[in-house]
């Protein structure tokens, strides 16, 4: 049974899977009433395809505000709560909310956030987070009043009405008070010894379905060697067939790519790139990079970053971004050396080996015109 909370003029409850079409109509209406949101009018949220599966994950759901006494149901606001996909970030929940313009100022958003926080505490989440346009003073004031802290600015995240728009990351701790944090390494401190590997021929090329077996072995190995990746070894690709499907998908269209650094026939590192899913984020590429420990300090990472630069410039993108754990001083120095700037800090974001780690947003801008 889903809890229903009735307030003056409206009630708050979790959405029902059978309400998918009504909920999408509400989202579409709200998207036309404000340009502070992620999507352009007509674009659908990522959960639109299968609302039931989204809610079945156990750490994701959607709350709706419904006008009291109206039949059929008259939805006036919503809030999506999306928990992390992996073990390390499962306790971090990203929120996004919208309220119909004719219901603004009546406490709908406040009630939606209260319901979401109560639900998140019951599911064992330890962090709530959201992003908000830097210029959206009304929303900033609301989130501050609800206990969210400003965690930093992310530059040129959206392109709206022909202009770049920066957003602020805001977070709220709701649990795990007694869990210790990973210590932040001192600047310049080298924890790992330089690799003794010697590279002969190094090739940077797109991954092919034929690489599936070698990529599967590499994926398992690299996730076993370090805790600095979001997916652990236990969450690696399960078998060669899954690896082949993944690599085949990377070769469809022009929005994603997986590149391999192959040293003398061995996969030494990999690079994943993907562009934003919506029109307002299509100018940005996300980046994920990993290098086998045997090939640290050999220049493999630098060659992969050079390849990422070429990929971004060829598509005339404006922003290349990534997330790195705060205690990974080596990676932070590496990305800074290659032109990335540290932006927002998601405090106590991920649980790794019994300790909480910050996540840092780092980004590089390429100067493309909006």
- pLDDT (tens digit, 9 = 90+) per residue, 251-267? 777 899 999 999 999 99
Domains 4-125 and 202-317 share a fold: yes
pLDDT band at 201 (very low <50, low <70, confident <90, very high): confident
User: Mean pLDDT throughout 265-288?
Assistant: 96
Evaluate if residue 191 carries a pLDDT over 80. Answer: no
d(CA 248, CA 258): 10
pLDDT score of 184: 80
What's the whole-model pTM score? 0.91
Regarding the domain with residue range 4-125, which homologous superfamily does it belong to in the CATH classification?
Answer: Gcn5-related N-acetyltransferase (GNAT) (3.40.630.30)
Lowest mean pLDDT among 2-6, 38-42, 146-150, 239-243: 2-6
Task: State pLDDT tens for residues 64-84.
Answer: 999 987 666 799 999 999 999
pLDDT score of 3: 62
CA-CA distances (angstroms) from residue 337 to 42, 141, 301, 342, 359?
A: 40, 36, 11, 12, 19
Angle between helices 212-225 and 240-249 (to 10 degrees): 100
pLDDT score of 252: 73
CA-CA distances (angstroms) from residue 229 to 27, 108, 191, 201, 221?
A: 34, 38, 17, 27, 12
d(CA 177, CA 154): 27
| Domain layout of the chain by residue ranges | 4-125, 202-317
* Cα four-point dihedral sign 21, 26, 27, 28: positive
Cβ-contact 245, 239 below 8 angstroms: no
d(CA 234, CA 345): 27
Other CB atoms within 10 A of residue 258 CB = 20
Tokens of 2: 């889903």
CATH topology of domain 202-317: Aminopeptidase (3.40.630)
């Amino acid at each position: 049974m889903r809890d229903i909370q009735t307030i003056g003029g409206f009630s708050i409850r979790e959405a029902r899977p059978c309400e998918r079409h009504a909920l999408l109509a509400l989202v579409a209406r709200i998207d036309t009433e404000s340009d502070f949101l992620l999507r352009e009018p007509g674009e659908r949220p990522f959960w639109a395809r299968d609302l039931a599966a989204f809610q079945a994950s156990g750490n994701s759901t959607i709350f709706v505000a419904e006008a009291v006494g109206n039949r059929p149901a008259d939805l006036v606001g919503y809030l999506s709560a999306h928990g992390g996909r992996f073990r390390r970030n499962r306790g971090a929940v990203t929120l996004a909310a919208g309220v119909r313009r004719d219901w603004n100022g009546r406490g709908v958003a406040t009630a939606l956030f209260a319901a979401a926080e109560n639900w998140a505490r019951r599911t064992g989440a330890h962090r709530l987070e959201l992003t908000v346009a830097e210029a959206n003073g009304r929303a900033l004031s609301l989130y501050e009043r609800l206990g969210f802290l400003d965690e930093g600015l992310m530059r040129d995240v959206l392109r709206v009405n022909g202009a770049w728009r920066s957003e602020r990351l805001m977070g709220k701790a709701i649990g795990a008070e007694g869990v210790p944090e990973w210590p932040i390494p001192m600047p310049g401190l080298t924890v790992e010894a330089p690799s003794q590997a010697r590279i002969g021929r190094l090739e940077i090329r797109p991954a092919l379905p034929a690489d599936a077996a070698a990529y599967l072995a590499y994926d398992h190995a690299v996730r076993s060697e370090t805790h600095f990746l979001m997916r652990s070894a236990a969450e690696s690709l399960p078998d060669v067939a899954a690896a082949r499907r993944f690599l085949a998908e990377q070769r469809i269209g022009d929005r994603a790519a997986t590149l391999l650094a192959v040293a003398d026939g061995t996969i030494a590192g990999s690079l994943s790139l993907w562009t934003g899913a919506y029109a307002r984020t299509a100018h940005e590429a996300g980046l994920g990079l990993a290098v086998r420990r045997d090939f640290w300090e050999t220049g493999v990472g630098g060659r992969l970053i050079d390849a990422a630069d070429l990929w971004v410039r060829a598509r005339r993108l404006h922003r290349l971004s990534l997330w790195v754990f705060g205690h990974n001083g080596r990676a932070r120095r590496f990305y800074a050396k290659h032109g990335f700037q540290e932006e927002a800090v998601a405090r106590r974001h991920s649980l790794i080996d019994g300790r909480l780690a910050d996540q840092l947003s780092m980004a590089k801008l390429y100067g493309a015109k909006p």
